[in-house]
Chains A and B, each alone.
Chain A
Amino acid sequence: MQKHESSSSTTHVTHKDSGWRLFLRTVIARAYPRLIGQQREPSWLIFEVVMPIGTTIAYVLVYKALRAPEEYIGFVVMGGAMTAFWMNVLWSMASQLYWEKETGNLALYIIAPNPKMAVLLGMALGGMAATSLRALIVILIGSLLFDVTYRVTDFMQLFAVFLLTMVALYGMGMMLASAFLLFGREAWNLVSLAQEPIFLVSGFFFPLKALPFWVGIIASIVPVTLGMDAMRQLVFPSAFPFGFLDVRTEIAVLAGLAVVFLVSAKWLLDYVERLAVREGRLTESRR
């Protein structure tokens, strides 16, 4: 180990990446631990699947006890899968830089020449891919356990909705990551607070239309709200009467949200970086 370190320290660096190359390599480097590192801890996979599937099973059984129509079982299974994404955005995106601050890594992020936006993007892409696997397992288990059948009416629209939902959702996570850096100990509690209330207003376990219209509109700020509503309409044709808005409208809103969140993330990150330079207190851990 010592030999390796000494030989690497004497190696001359002949090439330094910059510009888009550095950006790309940073994205890959930050996505790597999410994609590969997390798979090296299989127990995480179990727990991260057990959590959403446990809630999903409980709510499905509530519907079964109430003798609800079959579509509702499918709604819950899909909601359970989307839970994995929302939890990932909250705990591994929004609060990630806060964790880095608490563990002492944030200062390294700030002084490194890598574009900070690329760091956030790497986090998002890695988290998105790793969570997609977990969400898929939740859907598979839920569908097999409760015999849920899907009939996709428009694959192109479904693909567009999923992609836009993910871009907007993780864009929101990137924006929140910067915003949460400005918080201290309350960051943990704020993230924790964004679970059940969002499950409620976003209609994770029931059709969004069951809520008052204006609650649905306000909840649409969270991209998963409209994304899930549109996907339900597209994979359960009998769910059209439960749809909150027309699928095309929801696609347009999701596209708008994606742009707004990504631009806001960049703006907030720049602001936080300026603050770090000016005050020199950003990496201070306030436990």
Chain B
Amino acid sequence: MNRSALWRSFRLATWLGWQIESNWTDPFLFAIYSIIKPITGAAILVIMYGVITQGRFEDPMFPYLYLGNAFYIYVGSIMTGVSWAVIDDREHYRTLKYVYVAPIHIPLYLLGRGVARFLTGSIAVVITIAAGVLFLSVPLDFSAIQWGLFLPTLLFGVFMLTMMGLLLAGLTLIMARHEFIIGEVTASALYIFSGAAFPLEVLPPWLRPIGFAMPTTYWLELLRRSLVSDVAQAFPTLSILSNAQLLSILIGLGVLFAALGALIFWFCDRLARERGLIDITTHY
């Protein structure tokens, strides 16, 4: 498939994904819908924290918890966005079979369909962080942000999550009935093991290695450090590692997971074609 076809697959899937996500209502209601879920999710944590600490939001523990939770919005939205496209097209619109026979690059099509949720997720992340800075004393100093660390980390994380979404999309292709919640269950499990809102020390010792094997653990830590440099002191989990060491581990694990995502998708896609599962409907 030539380069223009690849680009066309991605571009049109992005446009289609955005239309499906947004045109069920007017733009104002859609904007509210897109931000209210993550904001209220963050607010639950803020209230939990406030109740226990009597509102000590200036403690370094708070930005650790708040920023980790804010960036975790990407995990759910990107992974679910990519994998959900399979269910939406196969079960709801019943068009996946047509997409498969069209001259479209399937993985790029699915990645394009996930872009809409990435965009709404980005808006939610920005608003969540802005609310933290404005109302909850999250110490974010724009002049002190390590942009050289923040932007590459963020972009690499988005790529890594997209590939993990592709992995879930592959599994969704060969699953029936309960594939709905595979994205949410995976995101929910990763939340526990990624140290998003609490340090890995809180986990029982036998579960901690799972957390250390997850690239999201290092991704969130690097994002926190690049925005608020002294946040690493809040919990000692990864404090012995320098930024360069964290980045190396993140890249290593991220590439591994991305490769795994591509491989599993390729395998499941082949299996789904062989078993005739592309046009299966399991009563979504």
Report if A189 contacts B (CB, 8 A): yes
Is B114 part of the binding interface, using a Cβ–Cβ cutoff of 8 Å?
Answer: no
**Cross-chain contact A65 with B199 (CB below 8 angstroms):** yes
Q: Is B10 an interface residue (CB 8 A)?
A: no
CA separation between A72 and B184, bound complex, in Å?
Answer: 25
A residues in contact with B24, CB < 8 Å? 184-186, 189
Q: Residue on A with the closest CB to B191?
A: A58
Q: Which residues of B have CB within 8 Å of A195?
A: 37
Query: Who on chain B is nearest to A87 by CB?
Result: B181
Interface residues of B in 253-284 (CB under 8 A from A): 283
A185 to B185, CA, bound (A): 24
A51 touches B25 (CB 8 A): no
Size bin of chain B's contact surface:
35 or more
Interface residue stretch chosen among B38-46, B147-155, B165-173: B38-46
Indicate if A213 sits at the interface (CB-CB under 8 A): no
The answer to whether B185 touches A210 (Cβ under 8 A) is no
| A47-B185 CB under 8 A given contacts A41-B178, A57-B192 | yes
For the residues of A in contact with B, the DSSP-based class is: helix
Picked from A43, A58, A65, the residue with its CB within 8 Å of the CB of B188 is A58
B177 close to A (CB within 8 Å): yes
Closest to A46 in B: B178
Do A64 and B40 touch (CB < 8 A)? Answer: no
**Pairwise interchain contact A62-B197, C-beta atoms closer than 8 A:** yes
Give A180 to B199 CA distance when docked, in angstroms: 42
**Total A-B contacts with CB atoms under 8 angstroms apart:** 104
Picked from A51, A189, A206, the residue with its CB within 8 Å of the CB of B48 is A206
Of A14-22, A196-204, A224-232, A266-274, the one contacting chain B is A196-204
| Interchain nearest-CB distance for A150 vs B (Å) | 21
**Interface flag for B98 (CB, 8 Å):** no
Contact residues in B for A102 (Cβ distance below 8 Å):
92
The count of chain A contact residues (Cβ–Cβ below 8 Å) is 40
Contacts of B36 in A (CB 8 A): 193, 196-197
Find out whether the CB atom of A66 lies under 8 angstroms from the CB atom of B49: yes
Beta-carbon contact of B41 and A64 below 8 Å = no
In the complex where A50-B185, A57-B192, A103-B283 touch, is A63 in contact with B37 (Cβ < 8 A)? no
Taken residue by residue from 167 to 205, chain A's Cβ proximity to chain B (1 for < 8 Å, 0 otherwise) reads as 000000000000000001110010011011101100011
Stretch among B50-58, B212-220, B244-252 lining the A interface: B50-58
Q: Is A211 an interface residue (CB 8 A)?
A: yes
**Min C-beta distance of A104 to chain B, whole Å:** 10
A58 touches B185 (CB 8 A): no
Which residue on B lies nearest to A188, using beta carbons? B24
A195 to B235, CA, bound (A): 31
Task: Tell me whether B240 is interfacial, beta carbon within 8 Å.
Answer: no
Q: Is A287 an interface residue (CB 8 A)?
A: yes
Is B31 at the interface (CB under 8 A from chain A)?
no
* Residues of B contacting A223 in the complex (Cβ-Cβ under 8 angstroms): none
* In the bound complex, CA of A206 to CA of B44 (Å): 8
B198 touches A65 (CB 8 A): yes
A68 vs B202: C-alpha distance in the bound complex, in angstroms? 13
Structural contact, A64 and B184, CB atoms closer than 8 A: no
Central interface residue in B33, B52, B93, B235, by most chain A CB within 10 Å = B52
With contacts A44-B177, A54-B185, A206-B48 known, is A189 near B25, CB below 8 A?
yes
With A51-B185, A64-B198, A65-B198: A200-B40 Cβ-Cβ less than 8 Å: yes
* A206–B178 CA distance with the chains assembled, in angstroms: 30
In the bound complex, residues from chain B placing their C-beta under 8 Å from that of A103 are: 283
CA distance A199 to B177 in the complex (A): 26
Residues from chain B with a CB closer than 8 A to the CB of A47 are 178, 181, 185
Which residues of chain A in 92-130 are interfacial with respect to chain B, using CB atoms and an 8 Å cutoff? 102-103
Q: Which of A51, A58, A65, A210 contacts B47 (CB 8 A)?
A: A210
CB pair A54 B188 closer than 8 Å: yes
Chain B nearest CB: distance from A67 CB in Å? 8
Which B residues are in CB contact (< 8 Å) with A61? 192, 197-198, 202-203
Name the residue on B nearest A44 (C-beta). B178
| A64 cross-chain contacts in B, Cβ below 8 A | 198, 202
**Chain A residues with CB under 8 A of B93:** 287
How distant is B44 from chain A, measured CB to nearest CB, in Å? 5
A59–B181 touching, CB < 8 Å? no
CB-CB under 8 A from A65, the residues of chain B are 61, 65, 197-199, 202, 235
Chain A minimum-CB-distance residue to B23: A185
What is the bound-complex CA distance between A103 and B282, given in angstroms?
Answer: 11
Any B CB within 8 A of the CB of A243: no
Task: Report the nearest A residue to B192, measured CB to CB.
Answer: A58
* Cβ contacts A to B, 19 pairs, < 8 Å: A47-B178, A51-B185, A54-B185, A54-B188, A57-B192, A58-B191, A58-B197, A61-B202, A62-B198, A65-B65, A65-B198, A103-B283, A184-B24, A193-B37, A196-B36, A197-B36, A206-B44, A206-B48, A211-B47
**Knowing that A61-B198, A197-B36, A200-B44 are A-B contacts, what are 6 other residue pairs whose CB atoms are under 8 Å apart, sorted by A's residue number?**
A44-B178, A55-B188, A62-B48, A64-B198, A65-B197, A196-B44
> What 6 A-B pairs have minimum CB-CB distances, sorted nearest first?
A54-B188, A65-B198, A196-B40, A200-B40, A66-B52, A197-B40
